[in-house]
């Protein structure tokens, strides 16, 4: 998100969901109250997911190494659904509830 702020100084950088803090990858994927609700509804281990390191790539690697094998595709699709939902809200003004994001991830998983 910092690249966007550097290239377009007038762009609002607050989280599109909670509007409380500057939006970062960590906030969008883990810290935002909206995101926490999505994770709670997903039935993926919060203890495993809540293990952010210095950057997103390390976090993904760490989580994937700790998840049970059958939870890996659900985790990846949920991350994708969270990011899609963030973009949908930012670009189109569409607001989904947390359960709809979880259902979107499940649908994506079935389709692929």
What are the average pLDDT values for consecutive 10-residue runs of the chain, which has 112 residues?
Answer: 51 78 87 94 90 88 92 93 90 92 93 84
15 belongs to a structural domain? no
Which pLDDT value is given to residue 8?
Answer: 47
Rounded CA-CA distance 45/17 in Å is 23
Give the pLDDT of residue 81.
Answer: 94
CB 104 within 8 A of CB 96: yes
Specify which residues 47 forms β-bridges with: none
- Whether 48 maps to a domain, the answer reads yes
pTM reported for the whole predicted model: 0.82
Q: Per the domain annotation, does 38 fall within a domain?
A: yes
Tell me the residue range of the domain where 82 lies: 25-111
Check residue 21 and give its pLDDT.
81
In a domain, 98, yes or no: yes
17 occurs within a structural domain: no
Give me the number of domains the chain comprises. Answer: 1
Per-residue pLDDT at 10: 53
16 within domain boundaries: no
In a domain, 3, yes or no: no
Give the pLDDT confidence score for residue 79 in this predicted structure: 93
pLDDT of the residue at 17: 83
CB half-sphere exposure, 40, CA atoms < 13 A: 8
Q: Check residue 2 and give its pLDDT.
A: 52
In which element (H, E) is residue 12 found? Answer: none
Cα separations in angstroms, 32 against 9, 24, 91: 23, 10, 19
Tokens of 30: 């883990």
Question: Nearest-CA neighbor of 42 among 94, 105, 97, 95?
Answer: 105
The CA distance from 76 to 15, in Å, is 21
Q: Identify whether 91 is part of a domain.
A: yes
């Amino acid at each position: 998100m910092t690249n966007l702020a550097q290239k377009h100084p007038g762009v609002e950088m607050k989280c599109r969901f909670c509007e409380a803090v500057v939006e970062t990858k960590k906030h969008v994927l883990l810290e935002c109250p909206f995101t926490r609700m999505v994770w709670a509804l997903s039935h993926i281990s919060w203890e495993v997911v809540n293990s952010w390191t210095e950057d997103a790539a390390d976090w993904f690697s760490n989580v994937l190494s700790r998840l049970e094998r059958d939870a890996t595709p659900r985790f990846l699709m949920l991350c994708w659904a969270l990011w899609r939902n963030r973009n949908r809200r930012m670009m189109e003004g569409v607001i989904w509830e947390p359960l709809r994001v979880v259902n979107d991830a499940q649908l994506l998983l079935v389709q692929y």
